[in-house]
Amino acid sequence: MHDGFKAGFVAVVGRPNCGKSTLLNKLLSQDIALVSHKANATRKKMNLIVPFSDKNGRNSQIIFVDTPGLHRQEKLLNQFMLKEALKAISNCDLCVFMACIHDETKYYEEFLELTDRPHILILSKIDTVTQKEILKKIKEYQKYDEKFLSLIPLSSQKSLNLENFLAEVSKHLPYSPPFFDTEILTDENTKYIYKEMIRESVFNNLSDEIPYESEVKIEKFIEGENLDKISAKIFVEKESQKSMVIGKNGQTIKRIGKQARQKMELLGKKKIFLQLNVFVQKSWSKEKENLKKFGYDFED
What is the band of 295 on the pLDDT scale with cuts at 50, 70, 90? confident
Average pLDDT over residues 261-273: 94
How much helix, strand and coil, in percent to the nearest 5, is found in the chain? Answer: 40, 25, 35
Per-residue HEC secondary structure of 50-72 comes to EEEECCCCCEEEEEEEECCCCCC
* Distant-in-sequence, close-in-space partners of 230: CB < 8 Å, separation ≥ 6: 194, 218, 220, 221, 222, 264, 272, 273, 274, 275
Statement to judge: residues 143 and 231 lie in one domain: no
Boundary-marking domain end, from 171, 201, 236: 171
Name residue 291's beta-bridge partners.
none
The closest of 140, 168, 139 to 152, measured between CA atoms, is 168
Per-residue pLDDT at 39 = 64
Is the pLDDT assigned to residue 77 strictly greater than 90? no
Average pLDDT over residues 5-24: 92
Statement to judge: residues 104 and 143 lie in one domain: yes
Domain count for the chain, please give it.
2
Boundary-marking domain end, from 171, 206, 227: 171
Statement to judge: residues 54 and 163 lie in one domain: yes
Statement to judge: residues 197 and 126 lie in one domain: no
What is the band of 4 on the pLDDT scale with cuts at 50, 70, 90? confident
- pLDDT tens track for 166-218: 999 999 999 999 999 988 888 888 899 999 999 999 999 998 778 889 999 99
- pLDDT tens track for 119-166: 999 999 999 999 999 999 999 999 999 999 999 999 999 999 999 999
Statement to judge: residues 230 and 286 lie in one domain: yes
Statement to judge: residues 115 and 236 lie in one domain: no
Domain of 201, CATH number, reads 3.30.300.20
Boundary-marking domain end, from 143, 171, 199: 171
Q: In this structure, is residue 261 part of a structural domain? A: yes
Instruction: Assess contact for 287 and 279: CB atoms under 8 A.
Output: no
Question: What's the pTM value of the predicted model, to 2 decimals?
Answer: 0.89
Q: In this structure, is residue 80 part of a structural domain? A: yes
Statement to judge: residues 157 and 254 lie in one domain: no
Instruction: Assess contact for 233 and 216: CB atoms under 8 A.
Output: yes
Statement to judge: residues 236 and 203 lie in one domain: yes
Statement to judge: residues 16 and 157 lie in one domain: yes
Per-residue pLDDT at 43 = 85
Average pLDDT over residues 18-36: 83
Q: In this structure, is residue 298 part of a structural domain? A: no
Residue that wins the pLDDT comparison between 81 and 35: 81
Mean pLDDT score of the chain, rounded to an integer? 91
Per-residue pLDDT at 68 = 87
Average pLDDT over residues 11-37: 85
Distance CA 14, CA 122 (A): 10
Longest dimension (CA), the chain: 61
* DSSP 8-state class, residue 143: G
Domain with 273, as residue range(s), is 190-293
Q: In this structure, is residue 154 part of a structural domain? A: yes
Is the pLDDT assigned to residue 300 strictly greater than 60? no
Q: In this structure, is residue 225 part of a structural domain? A: yes
Run of H or E including 78:
helix 76-91
Statement to judge: residues 162 and 255 lie in one domain: no
Per-residue HEC secondary structure of 211-241 comes to HHHCEEEEEEEECCCCEEEEEEEEEECCHHH
Q: In this structure, is residue 215 part of a structural domain? A: yes
Statement to judge: residues 197 and 167 lie in one domain: no
Average pLDDT over residues 39-64: 89
Statement to judge: residues 153 and 12 lie in one domain: yes
Domain of 22, CATH number, reads 3.40.50.300
